[in-house]
């Protein structure tokens, strides 16, 4: 097939959405399909066009004349939105006509997806899929009437939709009940071999590992608070948290207030190789999220063969096998209890998760890409997914 992936964010930015699009593109190419990627050109210093691993990447300015710019006295952005609404449509339509894809897959339903239906006018053989990833369902549509109207309109115009979890699919249906027969669930995947074969991180002490954006919804404050309550019983165990974000200063303050500077390490932003190494070397992976549409970190921890301790939120219960993993409610007391239990098991080397690696291999990106391709083909030949 000829597949055009349109992503609201892509490399060199790093995040769950970027990871999904990157791995799908690579797998589609491996399986003999022709792939192109179109994404936002932000910052402007990024090249407008480049080829990476044999895949053409085009970056455009997906800007619309949003009223919020006028409210914040940014007439320049509002005028730019007028220009790019016209100019970007022209360029994207030309790309589509030249590439002639069998299917266009927008990843993330926001203003970027607004450009696709216009460009498909007069091209009835090209099918359009929208893949939902989280904030495009439980975040942006709830901010204002314009975003909610966009969600309903575009989701109905598309030939099909995917969601990364049943949890997210139900949220989407609550926003737009007509999607019940249209939306299909495809869980995110993992590079199973990559994490299984990673070289363990060398640390002076055994450590619990957590990773993610330092934001309130990731729950790292809950993890630090709970760890503090049991740390005295296990003086040799540390807590290492990788990532960066708006809550960094607040977490540093919490660590100082609890006198945990020697026990809790904020490692900052680390690359993918270091994340895999940290997972390979830890005693277990902790994921205390307050909100999580899927929870790819838990899947990576499984691939690394580590037990995963995660919150009972979002899509996590859909794929995380219990045992050897555990799901914990969002209460400090509950986290204290399980941390105490698992840290005690770790000191006697009884904390194991041998089956996790096997389960993660079932969710390798190659298998996930096959699921997407089945939907693409179903929509392309039959009109709607079956």
Give me the DSSP letters along 43-109: STTS-SEEEETTEEEEEE------HHHHHTT-HHHHHHHHHHHHHHHHHHHHHHHHH--SEEEEES-
pLDDT digits (tens, 9 = 90+) for 311-323: 999 999 999 999 9
User: Is residue 277 scored above 70 in pLDDT?
Assistant: yes
User: Is residue 384 scored above 80 in pLDDT?
Assistant: no
Assign domain 192-361 to its CATH superfamily. Answer: Glycogen Phosphorylase B; (3.40.50.2000)
Q: How far is residue 106 CA from its own chain's centroid?
A: 14
Domain residue extents for the chain: 2-189+364-382, 192-361
The pLDDT value recorded for residue 386 is 38
Stated pTM of the model: 0.90
Query: Rounded to a whole number, what is the largest CA-CA distance in the chain?
Result: 69
User: Is residue 235 scored above 70 in pLDDT?
Assistant: yes
Domain made up of 2-189+364-382: CATH architecture: 3-Layer(aba) Sandwich (3.40)
Measured CA to CA in angstroms, residue 143 lies from 146, 147, 174, 177 at distances of 9, 7, 16, 19
The pLDDT value recorded for residue 381 is 62
The pLDDT value recorded for residue 73 is 86
- The mean per-residue pLDDT over the stretch 63-89 comes to 87
Domains 2-189+364-382 and 192-361 share a fold: yes
Q: What is the edge-to-edge ordering of all strands in the sheet holding 308-311?
A: 264-268, 238-242, 207-211, 284-287, 308-311, 326-328
User: Is residue 242 scored above 80 in pLDDT?
Assistant: yes
User: Is residue 349 scored above 60 in pLDDT?
Assistant: yes
User: Is residue 126 scored above 60 in pLDDT?
Assistant: yes
The pLDDT value recorded for residue 385 is 42
- The mean per-residue pLDDT over the stretch 371-384 comes to 80
Return d(Cα 3, Cα 33) in angstroms, integer.
7
The pLDDT value recorded for residue 338 is 97
DSSP 329: -
The pLDDT value recorded for residue 82 is 87
pLDDT category, 350, cuts 50, 70, 90?
confident
The pLDDT value recorded for residue 72 is 84
């Amino acid at each position: 097939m000829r597949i055009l992936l349109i992503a609201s964010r892509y490399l060199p930015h790093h995040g769950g959405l970027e990871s999904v699009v990157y791995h799908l593109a690579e797998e589609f190419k491996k399986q003999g399909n022709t792939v192109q990627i179109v994404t936002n050109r932000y910052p402007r210093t990024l090249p407008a066009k480049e080829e990476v691993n044999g895949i053409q990447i085009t970056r455009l300015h997906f800007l619309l004349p949003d009223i919020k710019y006028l409210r914040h006295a940014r007439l320049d952005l509002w005028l730019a939105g007028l220009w790019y609404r016209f100019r970007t449509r022209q360029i994207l339509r030309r790309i589509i006509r030249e590439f002639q894809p069998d299917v266009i897959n927008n990843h993330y339903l926001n203003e970027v997806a607004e450009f696709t239906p216009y460009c498909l006018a007069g091209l009835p053989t090209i099918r359009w899929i929208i893949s939902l990833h989280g904030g495009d369902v439980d975040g942006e549509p709830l901010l204002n009437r314009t975003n909610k109207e966009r969600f309903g309109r575009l989701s109905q115009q598309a030939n099909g939709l995917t969601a990364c979890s049943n949890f997210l699919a139900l949220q989407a249906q609550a926003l737009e009940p007509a999607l019940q027969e249209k939306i299909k669930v495809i869980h995110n995947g993992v590079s199973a071999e990559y994490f299984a074969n990673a070289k363990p991180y060398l640390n002076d002490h055994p450590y619990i590992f957590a990773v993610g954006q330092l934001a309130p919804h990731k729950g790292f404050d809950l993890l630090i608070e709970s760890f503090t309550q049991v740390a005295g019983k296990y003086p040799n165990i540390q807590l290492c948290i990788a990532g960066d974000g708006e809550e960094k200063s607040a977490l540093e303050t919490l660590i100082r207030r609890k006198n945990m500077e020697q026990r809790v390490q904020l490692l900052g932003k680390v690359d993918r190789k270091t994340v895999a190494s940290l997972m390979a070397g830890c005693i277990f992976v902790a994921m205390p999220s307050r909100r999580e549409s899927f929870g790819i970190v838990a899947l990576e921890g499984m691939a690394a063969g580590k037990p995963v301790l995660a919150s009972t939120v979002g899509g996590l219960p859909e794929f995380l096998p219990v045992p050897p993993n555990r799901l914990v409610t969002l209460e400090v007391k509950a986290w204290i209890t399980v941390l105490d239990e698992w840290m005690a098991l770790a000191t006697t080397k009884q904390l194991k998760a041998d089956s996790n690696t096997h389960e993660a291999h079932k969710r390798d990106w190659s298998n996930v890409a096959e699921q997407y391709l089945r939907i693409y083909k179903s929509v392309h030949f039959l009109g709607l997914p079956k």
